[in-house]
Structure 1
């Protein structure tokens, strides 16, 4: 609890209201309540984001964003650092067929958000001098029963011969350009955001609302307010293991009924708009979670796939 108080007090000095006067008049708990009121407010977060470029999301740490537009066959590499987007590289690319990738062999480049998982030299010279693998299928794909694998960013055949300009689902660029790209990329700090056609930018209002909703969700969780907590989950929600909402809710009701005290801290946010053809205003959110209760502790990355609907965050998938 002491750590939480110190974090909140530090937060107060960063985004100061007249917290000193509140402290002198009413004590530390009154300061904490004032800070909590701020972080649960859409307006607070929108104001905090006002000088940041969040077109492709919000990132607490440096991130390299590979923005791929399938229709225009273009890859742009942006560096995101402290709210500033800097274009580092651009290239024409070859991609697969139009539409969402659904099954193995449909020759479509998947639409969505993917991590770059490794850099390697392909065994087949047809795939060029080097490649970067993408994390397709991600959890959203898997729970939607999408199949396939081996989606890469790679080069052209080393012998210069290629029989068509449509890939089997990969993103392909000229070999000399790929070598330039390799000098700029750090795959451990990179995401690929793949769009079908027109790129729909995230807005400060959307990112601000997501921050407020995440902390409202955390508050309900920490206070064992089961009804408020479950209100954040979409009717079609699935947990990482496929558990659906009714069974998930029953499990959480049993846990919350114990009314255990718990401490939950979120940090290192990664919030990305999630391109897709079926859900409007969808986002992938990950963060570091430090959870402590009497009988359970967890420290690690939590990932949510969410949508915004009627100014509310609805959790579609949780990992």
Structure 2
């Protein structure tokens, strides 16, 4: 009871401090104070302590497809009523003939990475019968693929030919039998499903300490951006940084410095945040979120992707973004 009492006192004092700040300085100062609170590791550690983070920190994905290429399986995980990811189905799958990670068109390799499902193809879309009754189009090449110079296209999850034989491998796609591809279609919404492909088992039970540090760092980056701290903002960018459109770090610094000099009042809100360790890599994470940005001269509402490298102190360095 004593601990509960002390916590209640602490919360009351904190609320009173906010009210006093608001009474004296107005809402803008309170907002800045709250934005600063979001940068603290302590807040994020407490926030995620009871969240299922076996695949990372996920706000917007209710279902996850994982592909183990060596085991030739495609697994479907679904959030249950307790918001835990439960294995719903394991499918036998065909993958590319050649092992490793895809780098170029025609190399017969299934890529390793994190992908969205962009759309569904059926016979109504003139899908060739070789791919079975339907196919899911993935987002290969993604932002990190492009950063690393990968090329190629047309990586799908699809069915099997109904009237002809096929090899026991694909040219780079993931193929499951036709009954299963139909069942999968009925069991997922492509808007809230991601695909994670790895050579072996997809990483699970991700460290909450690392995730809370990354989330804290993400909001420190946002705080610097929001309050025009150009040095603090640019310090998050790696010397290896190249933007998705090819903009180098030096050009990016000049571009951002011009914008920051305007000293515009702005709002920056992040929703649907996902932080996932990148398969087959060390200390690389993909961060995605829905960004709402509004200033006097510019507005943006859309998807944002950051690929970050984590150092030994769990600090992030952005190596590419879109």
**Range of TM-score over shorter length:** 0.7 to 0.9
1:85 paired residue number: 85
Counterparts of 1:166 and 1:133 in 2: how far apart (Å)?
Answer: 18
Counterparts of 1:203 and 1:118 in 2: how far apart (Å)?
Answer: 32
With over 3 angstroms needed to count, the CA separation of the structure-2 counterparts of 1:254 and 1:89, relative to structure 1, is same
Q: Among residues 185, 188, 191, which one is paired with 2:191 in the alignment? A: 188
Q: Among residues 306, 310, 320, which one is paired with 1:304 in the alignment? A: 306
Q: Say which SS state the counterpart of residue 271 (structure 2) adopts.
A: strand
Q: Among residues 214, 217, 220, which one is paired with 1:213 in the alignment? A: 217
Summarize the alignment of residues 55-204 of structure 1 with structure 2, pairs less than 5 Å apart. Answer: 55-80=54-79, 83-96=83-96, 97-121=98-122, 123-159=127-163, 161-162=165-166, 164-201=167-204, 202-204=206-208
Q: CA RMSD in A?
A: 2.2
Aligned-pair CA distance for 1:152: 0.8
TM-score with structure 2 length normalisation?
0.86
Write out per-residue CA displacement over residues 254-277 of structure 1, whole angstroms, 9 at most, x where no aligned residue: 22223332221212212222213x
TM-score with structure 1 length normalisation?
0.87
Kept after mapping to 2: 8 A contact 1:58/1:83: no
Structure whose residues are more often strand by fraction: 1
Kept after mapping to 2: 8 A contact 1:136/1:151: yes
Counterparts of 1:62 and 1:154 in 2: how far apart (Å)?
Answer: 21
Q: Among residues 234, 238, 242, which one is paired with 1:238 in the alignment? A: 242
Q: Say which SS state the counterpart of residue 180 (structure 2) adopts.
A: helix
Aligned-pair CA distance for 1:25: 4.9
Aligned-pair CA distance for 1:62: 4.5
Kept after mapping to 1: 8 A contact 2:92/2:176: yes
Summarize the alignment of residues 218-297 of structure 1 with structure 2, pairs less than 5 Å apart. Answer: 218-276=222-280, 279-297=281-299
1:20 paired residue number: 15
Kept after mapping to 2: 8 A contact 1:62/1:79: no
Aligned-pair CA distance for 1:139: 2.2
Counterparts of 2:112 and 2:198 in 1: how far apart (Å)?
Answer: 6
With over 3 angstroms needed to count, the CA separation of the structure-2 counterparts of 1:17 and 1:110, relative to structure 1, is farther
With over 3 angstroms needed to count, the CA separation of the structure-2 counterparts of 1:62 and 1:166, relative to structure 1, is closer
* Structure 1 residues without counterparts, runs of 5 or longer: 1-15
Total equivalences in the alignment: 301
The answer on 1:52 being equivalent to 2:55 is no
Kept after mapping to 2: 8 A contact 1:59/1:80: no
Q: Say which SS state the counterpart of residue 227 (structure 1) adopts.
A: helix
Counterparts of 2:79 and 2:244 in 1: how far apart (Å)?
Answer: 29
Kept after mapping to 2: 8 A contact 1:46/1:208: yes
Q: Say which SS state the counterpart of residue 100 (structure 1) adopts.
A: coil
Write out per-residue CA displacement over residues 111-148 of structure 1, whole angstroms, 9 at most, x where no aligned residue: 11111111112633222221111111112222322111
Aligned-pair CA distance for 1:220: 0.7
Counterparts of 2:265 and 2:19 in 1: how far apart (Å)?
Answer: 28
With over 3 angstroms needed to count, the CA separation of the structure-2 counterparts of 1:110 and 1:62, relative to structure 1, is closer
* Structure 2 residues without counterparts, runs of 5 or longer: 1-9
